[in-house]
Structure 1
């Protein structure tokens, strides 16, 4: 299992190299990985259908309670299959869609990394592991949305998506940590066994708000919905994979996964249902007022995500079934429609629905796939979308607020029918309109994805029993955490749900026929650009940038002595304030232990320090600085630290030598500061020195029983095979810190080397010797 999850990351590392060698076949080659993963995950369906979900555990950070644990149940299997199957089709599609692009290999790398991140997210059983993969999806989607990074619009959309979903990621981390503290474990499968423990806990409300905030930002629920349409700056394969089938459904997955723990309360139901219903209606309305095919599909995606959220908030068995079926149907038809929109854009250079028409002759396969997928989105039988919509109507009819929610669902269905006509019928079967270039027929790679996805939606709709027991029922059972009997059927006879479907279809066709006029009226009344959440985001980002600039002007003045003064004054305030509240002995009585040579050496170091500050000649300052260094080395030697003394002697000798060698290149010492400035700096320096003296006296007056020294003495040789305790601490016990120091020095050395090369190059060019 671990190999299956990380295989995408491994493939991402080699993707650019492989693409350079096989540019014409790289799309088909990379698609074999998700195709193989699809087959691998299908092999678990039998065990899951028999209620025997496998769990895989790998030791990672056991001392922190964080292990790489993965759990495959019905819910994670459904998502894993969608991620792998649609990923394979999208990667094949990308091979033709981005053919000839200079950075296509990098695109494949980002796409494979995103696929691996999504798989890790939906399979993770440890809360922290889930969070890590959650953030990896945000990071990889940032690169994919901003793939065309030369355009300002793409960069803005990528940053917006990263900031909004990143904010939700912080909320998720806080919520998961709180849940871990309540349950005493970070394993999600263990949470399911004691869900009642949290519903009556004092932390239940903040946990629900944090988890809901994370899910709402990721799945573009109102008021965070604005980032998803803007993300349509990404290429069509990205919009298909991230913004219809996978990433935006991560929030739905989170709500569904934690439903057995957090659900079944008035708070959960009211919050999730309300936001879901509001998002559903808002997205359905906004889809009718835009003309860009991808933005239209983005808003209908927002509406569909709201519908799924609403169903999870309702939480009844039939609502959960409806959510699972509609999630599957939406992934199939919306993935197909996004790929169709991309094929249209690729062939014509136009995505404006008002300028498209008559394309059936140039791309008949794409046209048929688009029409079939559009009919599924409109809820027309015999497609899977119809089966899902019927279940939604049935679930809403059982809810206490069925009148309000049924009305919202009816309005949404009307919008979906009208939008289906705009994106699935109008570009192909109405008269030819103005396009940027002569349309060309798409190749096999561009036709395969939409054709297969649309065909699957039709086939499963005709025979829903194909997924009834091995896919839908296990997923619904995992969400409800109890066995669910699922019976899907295309025909239930004549009943009021069918009447609602017929009414929505007829009304939606009427709206489609009057779409131009309807859109014109709605556009004239739209004030979201001035008062909507997107405007609020822009104002907040502008205010944050202004605050950062003001803070930088104050704190980042560019003067080193100001930085040191800030650090010293802050330390005085924090440490001194803490000492004032304590009653600690100073250890003055131990001053009698000071020997005469130690006292003389201390006076010598202090005098040399004063001389360094007051010196008027460079050579005097250097010699005085050497006296300070060598005096400290002698202190190390007197107090039984010969290794530190040797190091200090070596450093001081080298420093003094280097300073003496460059003295003749340095200007004479001049005083640039006024007397008041020197006094200003001297006062906190003296106070800080006195504070450090008090701290040393306090520490030496306390009990001399130590825990660290015996520990290192006892474990240095058995654990690290080293006799020198200090070296063992630096290399083994504190190895990461030492590695960080080495890294900093290496980076500094590279910087110095680069500056020297640039300097020498400029000097040669100025002398006429390039």
Structure 2
């Protein structure tokens, strides 16, 4: 039974990718009904993972997997506890609604099938990320989310803004991914654990390790870029160039929370230190304020929501960094609440744009009668975003203030930050939910009317779930909030907050927040103008800095390329042989590995004859009057080497050498006769002497190196192996041939490929037809 459950879980992990593979063809066949069929894939995931709620609520984690790279101890494994299960349910549940929503939003779009494929691939990547146990599978899925989000953000690739936003997201999150990889490797080396489950059971091993701070900084690099923490926040609002289903899914409920997931996951082993409890609250609080203040400036509904998403991620990071049990409870509650109300509001913004033709809040109004269901969904979601009962956002906000408690010092500062941030998020929530629907009707680019069921089903469902989850908070806490908080805290947690307000400091702070939010909402236009003036006075920002950094990188690349790739073959050859000489001589000189001078052996007359032939050939090359003579003379050296092979009992090597040398001379002579080159070398003597020195350093260096090798005691292990097994394994008695063809067959294939590529290059050279002078004259006339 356990094997069957493991197989189903494995199927659930790969199912989105299978659905992505068939999505384009299915969309062409089913047209507008493809969304209903494709939504069955995430629905299956949701139902499957929903079945784990009982086990996880009872404190049992579910693990499983298969061997992936056994030699490195890497498995394709999963780890399902309260944290990963909650994320899996959010990803699959909201994903089901997003697929349906996309079916209505992109109805008739010629690339709808491609979009479904991308969104399902992303879903699979995100699902794999939160369920991964192995560090390597975690990293693979982490990077896959960056790649698929790049495809989704740049979906409308004909627009420059979409391409820029996609590239920006990929660069920022990609660099963060490299930082995360380094951090995971440091953790692996410091603790000896390559899985999350093993790491979480290692106690204080990581905190006590000397590389703790390095691991923390590297992990934060990955988490902060993925979750758009200041100063990396700029990529997320720019990603609103993507279609609204992408914004509703990636940039509110799933991908941008991957960094928060990572911090929550590693809190039991990285948290509870001064560094953790300092860096996270400071950056999180700063991001909360920056996000909400920038949101006030916006008039585009999606941008308003995008900047509050940045702010919400900052709030989650701040709460995770505070580290107390109640702060973790608040973070857990807010994460769930945010996924529900922000996903709903993004879909509302897209629905308004789809049916009214604009997202600019200044040109919207009076849509309540034309879009009553959309208005109801927007209002319910905004009430949760504003932290009002009886919605899940109210539970989260009460717990936030209970965790901060305004007790002085850092807590007082973070409490003030939370009040300002929550008040401004209330302003934006109600600006999105009320301004487009209330007031006098405004003429919009399109005749506004209620959207089809595929468009309003998602936001209405999420808004209602946010209310139901709060009303039945006892059940929600037992199956979702408490197991999730326990996984983050590393110990059992009980949560008691409900929709019934209790007289407390937290309730008082909530009232202050609501009052401040209402006051700012009533003068939103003036607040927007004031914020615009502040931003204009500041001028420079990280977004512009990104463009400057990319331009600087391109200029640097051009400068470096101009130096090391200047198009002059003689420079490339000189640098190559200088580095060869350095590589040969430097180690021997630095480590005193020069060989002992050997005694000169007695040689026979025919051995002297071979050396004489080689010397004559060398002289002929050096004093050749033209290039062709030098090439032919160069072949004498190769023939001399072949004679040495023959004299010392290696006729097969001698034959190979004869063939290679003959072919080389013929090819070089052919090339030289077909190319228009100077017949002789006209370089100055000084330049020639430099080349002579480099050539001598390489030639003598190889001779000295080989001499040193021959003075080392011979290890016959490899020779014995080939002698023993060449016939047994490869059925060949010629050991050299067996080595070349069988034991190192891939090397031989590579050598053949090199020869083939060289031949093609030579063919390209000799086929060049330079224009005759008469042709040039005719062209000019």
Partner residue, 2:48: 40
By how many angstroms is 1:144 displaced? 1.4
Q: Is the Cα contact below 8 Å between 2:584 and 2:705 reproduced in 1?
A: no
Match of 1:199? Answer: 207
Match of 1:249 in 2: 257
Please report how far the alpha carbon of residue 710 of structure 1 lies from its aligned counterpart in structure 2 after TM superposition.
Answer: 5.0
User: Structure 1 pair 494/399, CA: closer, same or farther in 2 (3 Å)?
Assistant: closer
* CA deviation profile, 1:36-79 (whole Å, cap 9, x unmatched): 11112122222222222121132122222322221111111111
Question: Structure 1 stretches of 5 or more lacking a match?
Answer: 760-770
String of CA shifts for 1:487-546, please: whole Å, max 9, x gaps: 341114233322322222232122112111111111112158633322333332222222
TM-score normalised by the chain length of structure 1: 0.90
Give the secondary-structure state (helix, strand or coil) at the position aligned to 2:436.
Answer: helix
Check if 1:116 corresponds to 2:124: yes
Post-superposition shift, 1:328? 0.7
SS of the residue 2:598 aligns to: helix
Kept after mapping to 1: 8 A contact 2:293/2:531: no
1:30 and 2:38 are equivalent in the alignment: yes
Q: Assess, with a 3 A threshold, how the Cα gap between structure 1 residues 152 and 700 changes in structure 2: closer, same or farther.
A: same
Q: Note the 1:715-734 alignment, pairs <5 A.
A: none
Aligned 1:536-547 pairs, distance under 5 A = 536-547=545-556
> Shift of the alpha carbon at 1:573?
3.3
| Whole-Å separation in 2 of the counterparts to 1:613 and 1:409 | 82
How far apart are residue 685 of structure 1 and its match? 2.3
1:703 maps to which residue? 713
For 2:366, the equivalent position in structure 1 comes to: 358
Question: Which is further off, 359-368 or 475-484?
Answer: 359-368
Contact 1:127 1:176 in 2 (8 A): yes
More displaced 10-residue stretch of structure 1: 449-458 or 651-660: 651-660
In structure 2, the partner of 1:439 is 448
Name the SS for the 1:22 alignment partner: helix
* Offset of residue 708 of structure 1: 4.8
Q: How far off is 1:90 after superposition?
A: 1.3
Contact map agreement 2:671 2:766 (CA 8 A) in 1 = no
Aligned equivalent of 1:223: 231
- Which of 156, 164, 184 aligns to 2:164? It is 156
Structure 1 residues 386-425: aligned runs within 5 Å: 386-397=394-405, 401-425=410-434
**Separation in structure 1 between the aligned mates of residue 355 and residue 619 of structure 2, nearest angstrom:** 78
1:553 and 2:562 aligned: yes
Equivalent position of 1:512 in the other structure: 521
- Change in Cα spacing, 1:248 to 1:691, as seen in structure 2 (3 Å) is same
Q: Secondary structure at the match of 2:32?
A: coil
Cα gap change, 1:590 to 1:664, in 2 (>3 Å)? same
Q: Does 1:331 align with 2:342?
A: no
What SS is found at the alignment partner of 1:60?
Answer: strand
Q: Which residue of 2 aligns with 1:208?
A: 216
CA distance in structure 2 between the partners assigned to 1:587 and 1:529 by the alignment: 71
Q: Is 2:579 the partner of 1:567? A: no
CA deviation profile, 1:74-118 (whole Å, cap 9, x unmatched): 111111111111222212222222233333322222222211211
1:299 and 2:307 equivalent? yes
Q: What does residue 328 of structure 2 align with?
A: 320
Q: 1:753 to 1:591 in 2, by over 3 A?
A: closer
Aligned-partner Cα distance in 2 for 1:341–1:644: 76
Match of 1:503 among 508, 512, 520: 512
Give the superposition deviation at 1:657.
6.0
Alpha-carbon spacing, 1:665–1:426, altered in 2? closer, same or farther (3 Å)? same
Larger Rg: 2
Aligned position for 1:694: 704
Once residues 106 and 42 of structure 1 are traced to their aligned partners in structure 2, the CA distance between those partners, rounded to angstroms, is: 29
After superposing the two structures, state which structure 1 stretch, 668-677 or 259-268, moved more.
668-677
Deviation by residue 1:184-230 (Cα, 9 ceiling, x = unmatched): 12122111222312223221111111111221111111111111111
Q: Secondary structure at the match of 1:68?
A: strand
Q: How large is the Cα RMSD of the aligned pairs?
A: 3.4
- Corresponding position of 1:762: none
Alpha-carbon distance between aligned partners in 2 of 1:525 and 1:118, rounded to the nearest angstrom: 38
Equivalent in the alignment of 1:17: 25
8 Å CA contact retained: 1:292, 1:352 = yes
Mapped contact 2:67–2:76 kept (Cα < 8 A): yes
Change (3 A) 1:168 1:703: same
* Aligned-partner SS, 1:180: helix
Distance 1:246 1:747 in 2: 47
Q: Which position in structure 2 is the counterpart of 1:373?
A: 381
Instruction: Structure 2: state its 5+ residue gaps.
Output: 1-8, 770-781
Q: Indicate conservation of the 8 Å contact 1:38/1:85, yes or no.
A: yes
Q: Which residue of 2 aligns with 1:232?
A: 240
Match of 2:198 in 1: 190
Pick closer, same or farther for the CA change 1:567–1:752 going to 2, 3 Å. closer
- Corresponding position of 1:133: 141
Give yes or no for the alignment of 1:273 onto 2:281.
yes
Is 1:148–1:154's contact at 8 Å kept on the other side of the alignment?
yes
Contact 1:236 1:339 in 2 (8 A): yes
| Structure-1 separation of matches of 2:10 and 2:449 | 44
User: 2: distance between equivalents of 1:354 and 1:719?
Assistant: 80
Q: Compared with structure 1, are the counterparts of its residues 517 and 173 closer, same or farther at alpha carbon in structure 2 (3 Å cutoff)?
A: same
In structure 2, what is the equivalent of residue 59 of structure 1?
67
Secondary structure (helix, strand or coil) at the match of 2:78 reads strand
2:406·2:412 contact (CA, 8 Å) conserved in 1? Answer: no
> Residue 171 in 1 paired to residue 185 in 2?
no
- Pair 1:623–1:320, CA change in 2 (3 A): same
- Tell me how far 1:438 sits from its aligned partner: 2.8
Q: Could you tell me how far apart the structure 2 residues matched to 1:22 and 1:191 are?
A: 47
Query: How many residues were matched structurally?
Result: 759
CA distance in 2, matches of 1:628, 1:513: 92
Does the C-alpha gap of structure 1 residues 416 and 667 become closer, same or farther in structure 2, counting only changes over 3 Å?
closer
Any conservation in 1 of the 2:299–2:360 contact (CA below 8 Å)?
yes
Go from structure 1 to structure 2 and tell me whether the alpha carbon gap of 1:497 and 1:688 turns closer, same or farther (over 3 Å shift): same
- Tell me, in whole angstroms, the C-alpha distance in 1 between the residues paired with 2:649 and 2:451: 80
Residue 5 of structure 2 is matched in structure 1 by none
CA contact (8 A) 2:588 2:594 kept: no
Match of 2:319 in 1: 311
Q: Which moved more, 1:536-545 or 1:327-336?
A: 536-545
Q: 2:597 aligns with which of 588, 594, 598?
A: 588
CA contact (8 A) 1:618 1:668 kept: no
Superposed, 1:445-524 pairs within 5 Å as: 445-524=454-533
Correspondent of 1:385 among 379, 382, 393? 393
- The answer on 1:4 being equivalent to 2:12 is yes
SS in 2 for 1:55: strand
Which residue in 2 is equivalent to 1:764?
none
Distance in 2, Cα, partners of 1:556 & 1:218: 36
Partners of 1:29 and 1:610 in 2: how far apart? 80
